Structure 1
Amino acid sequence: MADDLAYGTVPSFYREVYDIVCPNPADGKVDQDVFIKILVKSSLPKQTLSTIWEAADNKQGYLTRSGLYKALALTALAQQGKPVSEKMLENYGKEELPKPHLGDLSDLRTLSAQVRREKNPNVLSYTYKDLVALDSVTIDLVPEKKGLLLKHVEYEVKSEFFKSSVMRRYSDFDALYDMLISRYPYRMVPRLPPKKMLGANREFIEGRRRALLRFLTLVVRHPVFHSSDVIRYFLTFQGTDMQHRIKEQFRGTPDEYVTSPLALSAKELVPMDTQMQYSNAREHVKRLFASIYQLKHIVDQMALRSAASASDMLLMAKELNMMGSESQVASTWAMGVNESWPKIKTGLKAISVEFAALADKHSVQGKREDNNVAERIALILDLLQAYKDLGDRLEKGLVKDHQNALAKMGSIKKKKMTATVKGSDHVGEVEQLESRIIEQESQIMTMENRNYFSLHCIQMETQLVHANIDILAEVVQALSKTELQGHKELTQVWEDTTAKVDTHMTMGLLSSSSS
């Protein structure tokens, strides 16, 4: 590699760090601020960090790949108590260079994205790989429990990021959803599956578990939600009655607009053509959703056909075995010179086992199509639906509030003009109306700022959709691999079946012809 060092062998760890801090290979530049924050994670003294920076700096305000590699190697030397010297590195010859201790790389990934975001707030700075690395969650059903009156389903929720395991009920997820909508009104919040308690069968419960997993996966991999104290509380609180505790814990907490450092400068972050771009993005997402929804329907039908084929093969195995196990012996009176039946009957019993194997392969294939392909499609559909819901919320909420405020302002100004015309007898009324106008103008200004902030958030959420669009590539890859594997396995069983059929059925026919 052209940018590798002239000495030593570069460890894969170096390349991993480079990919994190320089996500744009075409650029090839490691930002100075990002690099400095990496050095701080090494816990070395400031003087040592300055020495490392001077050795790696190319005086351009950024580092090249080789500069970063050199800095990582020097950091490792310093952590080992050795001199920070390039000559020390030359002694490595062709040996692998030392690896510094920089903590969890997922933290480094978050830090890198944070710095890039601060430098350019209009760019999300997260790839799909970055989003996946934020957290991985699992949701498993626990043995059924009984409440005082009704049975309820409980889930064990595990988070890789928090290294936590907590017990949650559907009502807890419902409370989390309400908190996210309230706290982050301008962000995509996925829908929850329906509750439906009475008469819920096993299939419904499993479907709801999957939907809750998709919901939580999208939530924990959202850059804003990931760092939220609401999510931390939901994934780590070990007490009971979560649905009420989480509301008490965050009661009175303002929404994102009030707490965001970008809120007051949001107008500067909104490009002039944002409304047009957003309109185009909504139309694009609408078309994507329609097509992917059809893909989901097709894959669901494929899984159903595989399950139906499994059922058909099992029934065929049953009937073949039944014919092969028939106890009644066919007499010469019945067969005459055609004595194939005894041989064929023996063959049918032997062949029935192969059809049972075919049933098993079709069943496994149906589950693969459902789990590997359909679930991935459902995940991206949930994301796109959340984007559509966000647009609907903004149209029905913020825009409507703004229009109402402007109408109210117009009404107040009209009353003021009427009172002014009436003269001195209405001085008090005029002063009161002027006070209300000032108050209303302040509210409208806040609404305008909120509007700009919401448009900025919309741009980030649109970029988040595109960061997750790699799921669609995963869908196509999973479909291809799943069908290839399934057809290979079925082909193998059919070949084994054909060999048995040729052996047993041919024997029966030969027996008949020889007689």
Structure 2
Amino acid sequence: MSADLTFGSVPPYYREVYEIVCPHQQQVDQDLFIQLMLKSSLPRQTIMQIWDLVDNKQGYLTRTELPKPTLGDLSDLRATSVKLKRDKNPNILGYSFQELCELDTVKVELVPEKKGLILKHVEYEVTSKRCKSTVLRRYNDFVAFYELLMMRFPYRLIPRLPPKKMMGASREFIEHRRKSLQRFLMLVSRHPQMSDDKLVKFFFTFNGSDMQHKIREQFRGIPDEFMTSNLASKAKDLVPMDTQVQIGNSKEHIRILYNSISKLKDITDRMVSRATGYACDMLQFGQELSSLSNDSTPVSPWATGTNETWQHLKKGFKHISVEYAAIGDKASQEAKETDELVLEKLSSFQDLLNAYKDLCERHEKGVLSDHQRAIQKMGQYKKKKMSATVQGTSEVGTVEQLEQKILEQESQIANMENRNYYSLHCLQMETQLIHANLDIMYHIMGSMAEIQAKAHTELGKVWSEIKPIVDGLQSKDNVSPKRTSPIGSPVNNHAGIVM
């Protein structure tokens, strides 16, 4: 068999299978081997016979012992392989940034305004690629969803919702909130634990009316993650001894990250504003030149004498105004791309870092504080019991009551200890999630470099085309430029300018 399975003789399909089941090692895990063979539709008894024949008594197979079943589509095998590896090492997140992005892509778009009986209200069209769904949602639907997420996943990174404005919301405010809601849903839908939860799927797929009441009714009393996790009972074993030290170090590191990301976001915001302002200025500059070129006020030799400068300028202004419109269009495109590909990604990462700060506060003020209070209460019960015992037989009933309370409190403390350990385990995973998302900085810096290089190259080209037109303004034979009316020119009435 060894000769048959040399690399060159194994068909590509089977090499692909091997890369799935053991991409970084020369061994096939027993559990994954069973899953692999189950895909072949062989009876379980036959599979176990095969295992007995090839088992080297070490719990794994080597490459030369790999069988050749007919497996069909490999996508679910790949998913099974990844899941088994993650389950076997629950202290490692096991997700790359690319894998997180592949969990889902969410779009939130504004629906044209509708008038209510008293106030206008804004609706959002929410599209989930993973759920293959498009639904309409109002802001209060997001609020109900957020509240339930906090109940269901108190130990996870849950981004903040943007604030609600009751009356007089400007277009700028509404657009800012739309972007914030899209980032909120994107981070939730790309969270390894939350993305596949029934609550999340319900929000993305329910098409009925009165969403906020329906989702509250459907998930009223929903147990939190601790109550349903198979890791809850062994959470203590998952928490390393130096966890508190590591949390302190991570909080400081993420605080530094947050401060720097916030500054980068502010700088990028100013870049977008400058590019937008520059686009508007260039467009207005071109419009004024166009206006001068179309001036029909009579100008006679009485005013000009033998000077023909005004006639030459009018012809030149008409040609050159189109070029200024092109500059405005290029700057507008730069502003739009910087906003979408740099500023929004920085905002998304900042939202995630904010969620981490909130999570640390919930841990300290919530489960950790509850645990400490429960221990203090236990100490009080024990003091009262000791005092009652010293007072003699007249306090027998009181002693028995205190003993019962102590037993109940011990049970609560044990449960709280498990919750505390589970919360610490989740905090470790969420810290690793922050680091997995750090890859977004590669995309941010790459996008900025590409946008700036493209914008400066295109702007330089347009300015280079303007130069000979300017040089020829004094000539009697002004030559029209090649460009006639680009998108964003005065002819197209401000098209393409991002405000």
Same fold, TM exceeding 0.5? yes
Q: Which residue of 1 aligns with 2:73?
A: 101
Residue 350 of structure 2 aligns to a residue whose secondary structure is helix
Q: Which residue of 2 aligns with 1:361?
A: 330
Q: How far does residue 132 in structure 1 lie from its aligned partner after superposition? A: 1.4
Root-mean-square deviation (CA, aligned residues, Å) is: 2.8
One-letter code of the match for 1:101?
D
* Superposed counterparts of 1:13-412, under 5 Å: 25=24, 27=25, 31-41=29-39, 43=41, 46=44, 61-62=59-60, 74-75=68-69, 78=70, 100-102=72-74, 105=75, 108=77, 110-412=79-381
Identity over aligned pairs, percent? 52
Q: Which residue of 1 aligns with 2:12?
A: 10
One-letter code of the match for 1:5?
F
Higher relative contact order by CA 8 Å / sep ≥ 6: 1 or 2? 2
Q: How far does residue 35 in structure 1 lie from its aligned partner after superposition? A: 4.7
- Per-residue displacement from partner, 1:200-241 (whole Å, max 9, x unpaired)? 122222221111111111111111112211112112222221
Aligned partners of 1:155, 1:217: CA distance in 2, in Å? 15
Residue 362 of structure 2 aligns to a residue whose secondary structure is helix
Does the 8 A contact of 1:57 with 1:67 survive in 2?
Answer: no
**Structure 1's 146 and 330: CA in aligned 2 closer, same or farther, altered over 3 A?**
closer
Q: Which residue of 1 aligns with 2:413?
A: 444
- Per-residue displacement from partner, 1:67-115 (whole Å, max 9, x unpaired)? 79x76xx44xx36xxxxxxxxxxxxxxxxxxxx323xx3x555433321
Does the 8 A contact of 1:192 with 1:212 survive in 2?
Answer: yes
Match of 1:466 among 424, 431, 435: 435
**Structure 1's 270 and 234: CA in aligned 2 closer, same or farther, altered over 3 A?**
same
- The yes-or-no answer on 1:507 pairing with 2:479 is no
Aligned partners of 1:43, 1:506: CA distance in 2, in Å? 86
Residue 232 of structure 2 aligns to a residue whose secondary structure is coil
One-letter code of the match for 1:191?
R
Does the 8 A contact of 1:340 with 1:508 survive in 2?
Answer: no
Structure 1 alignment gaps of length 5 or more: 80-99, 511-515
**Structure 1, 168-177 or 52-61: larger mean CA deviation:** 52-61
**Structure 1's 246 and 154: CA in aligned 2 closer, same or farther, altered over 3 A?**
same
Does the 8 A contact of 2:381 with 2:406 survive in 1?
Answer: yes
Q: Which residue of 1 aligns with 2:446?
A: 477
Residue 507 of structure 1 aligns to a residue whose secondary structure is coil
Aligned partners of 1:133, 1:406: CA distance in 2, in Å? 44
Residue 164 of structure 2 aligns to a residue whose secondary structure is coil
Q: How far does residue 496 in structure 1 lie from its aligned partner after superposition? A: 2.2
Does the 8 A contact of 1:317 with 1:352 survive in 2?
Answer: yes
One-letter code of the match for 1:324?
S
- TM-score, normalised by the number of residues in structure 1: 0.84
**Structure 1's 308 and 402: CA in aligned 2 closer, same or farther, altered over 3 A?**
same
Q: How far does residue 22 in structure 1 lie from its aligned partner after superposition? A: 5.2
- TM-score, normalised by the number of residues in structure 2: 0.87
Q: Which residue of 1 aligns with 2:386?
A: 417
Aligned partners of 1:476, 1:141: CA distance in 2, in Å? 29
Aligned partners of 1:375, 1:39: CA distance in 2, in Å? 45
Q: How far does residue 398 in structure 1 lie from its aligned partner after superposition? A: 1.5
Aligned partners of 2:408, 2:322: CA distance in 1, in Å? 83
Aligned residues: 474
One-letter code of the match for 2:250?
A
- Per-residue displacement from partner, 1:140-160 (whole Å, max 9, x unpaired)? 222323334332222222222
Does the 8 A contact of 1:183 with 1:256 survive in 2?
Answer: yes
Aligned partners of 1:213, 1:302: CA distance in 2, in Å? 22
Aligned partners of 2:138, 2:250: CA distance in 1, in Å? 36
Aligned partners of 1:266, 1:442: CA distance in 2, in Å? 17
Aligned partners of 1:318, 1:400: CA distance in 2, in Å? 65
Does the 8 A contact of 2:312 with 2:474 survive in 1?
Answer: no
Q: Which residue of 2 aligns with 1:96?
A: none
Aligned partners of 1:484, 1:316: CA distance in 2, in Å? 24
Does the 8 A contact of 2:151 with 2:222 survive in 1?
Answer: no
**Structure 1, 213-222 or 338-347: larger mean CA deviation:** 338-347
Does the 8 A contact of 2:135 with 2:205 survive in 1?
Answer: yes
**Structure 1's 505 and 394: CA in aligned 2 closer, same or farther, altered over 3 A?**
same
Residue 165 of structure 1 aligns to a residue whose secondary structure is strand
Q: Which residue of 2 aligns with 1:513?
A: none
Residue 265 of structure 1 aligns to a residue whose secondary structure is helix
Q: How far does residue 345 in structure 1 lie from its aligned partner after superposition? A: 2.0
Residue 143 of structure 1 aligns to a residue whose secondary structure is strand
Does the 8 A contact of 1:56 with 1:67 survive in 2?
Answer: no
Residue 264 of structure 1 aligns to a residue whose secondary structure is helix
Q: How far does residue 495 in structure 1 lie from its aligned partner after superposition? A: 2.2
Aligned partners of 2:380, 2:457: CA distance in 1, in Å? 74
One-letter code of the match for 2:209?
T
One-letter code of the match for 1:413?
K
Residue 144 of structure 1 aligns to a residue whose secondary structure is strand
Aligned partners of 1:294, 1:4: CA distance in 2, in Å? 56
Q: How far does residue 271 in structure 1 lie from its aligned partner after superposition? A: 0.4
**Structure 1's 345 and 9: CA in aligned 2 closer, same or farther, altered over 3 A?**
farther
Does the 8 A contact of 2:309 with 2:474 survive in 1?
Answer: no
One-letter code of the match for 1:10?
P
**Structure 1's 53 and 413: CA in aligned 2 closer, same or farther, altered over 3 A?**
closer
One-letter code of the match for 2:91?
N
**Structure 1's 19 and 358: CA in aligned 2 closer, same or farther, altered over 3 A?**
farther
One-letter code of the match for 1:507?
S
**Structure 1, 229-238 or 216-225: larger mean CA deviation:** 229-238
Q: How far does residue 379 in structure 1 lie from its aligned partner after superposition? A: 0.9
**Structure 1, 243-252 or 186-195: larger mean CA deviation:** 243-252
Aligned partners of 1:36, 1:196: CA distance in 2, in Å? 56
